Amino acid sequence: MNQPLPNELIETIFQVDTEQSHRPLRDCIATAMANYFHHLDGHEPDNLYQMVLQEMEEPLLRAVLEYTRSNQSRAAIMLGLNRGTLRKKLKQYNLS
């Protein structure tokens, strides 16, 4: 089993150039994933799906909470989640 990549490396790999932030989200994700695979240097990632979800879920929750001025009911509706699920996710990322 391969060693997981350090968090600092993961954070660096998933950074998106702010000059290109006007691109569609899917393009940014595709670029970030290509960059991630380029930097693996022979390592095989474990739990890649979960890692990617965590990388995008927290900023998504933060952005929606900011947009709704921390109104969890509105945020849950925007995200298509029930309020209990949203609260669970907020707690998971220490956003509550």
What does each of the 96 residues of the chain score in pLDDT, given as a tens digit? 455 566 665 555 556 555 555 788 889 889 999 999 999 988 999 999 999 999 999 999 999 999 999 999 999 999 999 999 999 999 999 998
Residue 19 is assigned to a structural domain of this protein: no
Q: Indicate the number of domains in the chain.
A: 2
Is the domain of 79 the same as that of 90?
Answer: yes
Q: How far apart are CA 19 and CA 31, in angstroms?
A: 14
Asked if the structure places residue 96 within a domain, the reply is yes
- 47 DSSP 8-state letter: S
Do 73 and 37 have their domain in common? no
Q: Are residues 87 and 96 in contact, defined by beta-carbon separation less than 8 angstroms?
A: yes
- Residues 65, 29 share a domain: no
Structure tokens at 14: 């998933």
CB 95 within 8 A of CB 65: yes
pTM beyond 0.75: the answer is: no
Note whether 29 and 64 are same-domain residues.
no
58 and 71 co-located in one domain: yes
Long-range contact set of residues 43-51: C-beta below 8 Å, sequence gap at least 24: 43/2, 43/3, 43/5, 44/2, 45/2, 45/4, 45/5, 46/1, 46/2, 46/4, 51/10
Is 41 within the bounds of a domain? yes
How far is C-alpha 7 from the chain's CA centre?
13
Domain encompassing residue 63: 48-96
